[in-house]
Amino acid sequence: MADDRLTAIVKTETPRVRARLIREFRDFDLAEDSLQDALLRAVKSWPVDGIPESPAAWLTTVAKRCAIDVLRREQVHHRAVGLLSAGEEDRDELDVFNDDLMRLIFTCCHPSLNLEAQIALTLRTVVDMSLTQVARAFLVSEKTMEQRLVRAKRKIKQAGIPYTVPESRDLPRRLQGMLTVFYLVFNEGYSATAGDALIRFELCQIAIQMTRQLNRLVRGGAEALSLLSLMLLQHSRSKARVDAAGRLVLLEDQDRGLWDRRAITEGTMLLEKALLARQPPGPFQL
């Protein structure tokens, strides 16, 4: 098995598996540690035994077993057994993982956390940016960022913040904060502050995917539609924004034949739909 294939699978599946583990165990650190153990086992066993038919289900099962072992060692066997039996299905359908991701996103973006903590926690746990990358994005040291993330996770645990998608009546007051977080995730991809690449395409795509899912929850919301429109219109030029050497290409020098016409068409239609909603314009629509 080629290393790049293993890397691609890990990169794709890690956020979804992490989200499910956090939902089931209600513990960021336990989920992260058990997932890392599972990834290490995958690196050792997959090149020999082959990639399993469902890599996400394999990682989830192994990570849950690792977590159960930790809980048992901490002499909370009764809790471990309960969690293990509750999650034996190991379903790995995309909709299940997407639900888990949305639950995790709403948890990270809970209004009891300040905006900076919401963004950092989302980048670290949902987008899977490294601690170094998140620290660079905020222009702080790794130690400072690690302390902020620890405080945010502790607050979630102590305050009993639920790992759920809010009910419809609670969505409006949560919406603007989440849209802001998604926008900043997109910006980090559009103009990366960390790493060697000027554009982090995967971050742009993750932000677009999250905004799409949010639009399904708040159907017809002008600001959510407008943000998705903004992202698509901006991202439509991504392939033309850097040359073969990775250098930035200014707008007037870009090859417009490389622009994504489907994204432009969809972005324009979404903006028109937002305008037809006749809701007071917000910053993203403007």
Give the tens place of pLDDT for each residue, 28-76.
888 888 888 888 888 888 888 888 888 888 998 888 888 887 777 655 4
Residue 93: CB atoms within 10 A of its CB come to 11
| pLDDT value of position 144 | 94
The rounded distance, in Å, linking the Cα atoms of 93 and 96 is: 5
| pLDDT value of position 159 | 85
Q: Which helix (H) or strand (E) holds 99?
A: helix 94-108
Low-confidence ranges of the chain (pLDDT < 50): 1, 76-97
List domains and CATH numbers for the chain.
Answer: 1-92 (1.10.1740)
| pLDDT value of position 94 | 38
| pLDDT value of position 152 | 92
User: Could you give the dihedral angle defined by the CA atoms of residues 42, 47, 49 and 53, in that order, rounded to the nearest 10 degrees?
Assistant: 70
The rounded distance, in Å, linking the Cα atoms of 223 and 229 is: 10
Q: pTM for this one?
A: 0.65
Beta bridge partner(s), residue 89 = none
Only one residue has tokens 């699978």, namely: 9
| pLDDT value of position 208 | 92
| pLDDT value of position 221 | 86
Per-residue tokens: 157: 């645990």
| pLDDT value of position 284 | 92
CA angle 60, 38, 77 (to 5 degrees): 70
| pLDDT value of position 96 | 43
| pLDDT value of position 111 | 84
| pLDDT value of position 266 | 94
